[in-house]
Amino acid sequence: MTAIDLRPATAADSEYCFQLHRAAMGDHITSIWSWDEGTQRGFHASAFTPDRWQIVTADGTDVGMLHVEHRPTEIYLARIEIHPDHQGSGIGGCSPAASCTRPADRARTSPWTSPSSTSGPAPSTGDWACTRNSGTARTTSRSE
């Protein structure tokens, strides 16, 4: 089983996050607007906020990034990027779950609910659950 975790981003993660963005989104951006290195670095410089971003790890290896905004009445998934080498393994689905189920966040209202098959009904305030079935991670949700 892969151990998926989050760690706080630091200023030292800026280049990693830029290269991750290029790997995860570069083809898409190129197909629509074209990839201009200077423009993309400028966008990254204005968007990168290490105090708000988290680095997604799988078995201790950096594999992605997550930006979750904890608003007064909701938890908002602003951005998630998983490196293409690690896509398709359920990491992206479990990453928001890891962020949203920290004990400090459980009192917040989330627009997503997902009871796991063993946890019973989800609380009315909403909760994330990430379960593993046959080795595949799965996160389900519904709007409240």
Identify the band that residue 48 occupies on the pLDDT scale cut at 50, 70 and 90: very high
pLDDT of residue 107: 42
Neighbouring CB atoms inside 10 A of 123's CB total 13
pLDDT of residue 100: 53
pLDDT of residue 76: 84
- Predicted confidence (pLDDT) per residue in 131-144, tens digit: 433 333 333 333 33
Residue 23: both structure tokens together:
């790997």
Determine whether domain 4-139 maps to CATH 3.90.1150.10.
Answer: no
pLDDT of residue 133: 38
pLDDT of residue 58: 87
- Predicted confidence (pLDDT) per residue in 85-128, tens digit: 999 887 877 765 555 544 444 444 333 332 332 333 333 333 33
Backbone dihedral angles phi then psi of residue 130, each to the nearest 5 degrees = -120, 120
Which of 77 and 115 is assigned the larger pLDDT?
Answer: 77
pLDDT of residue 24: 96
Residue 52: both structure tokens together:
């708000």
Buried b / exposed e over 10-37, threshold 16 CB at 10 Å, is eeebeeebbebbbebeeeebeeeeeeee
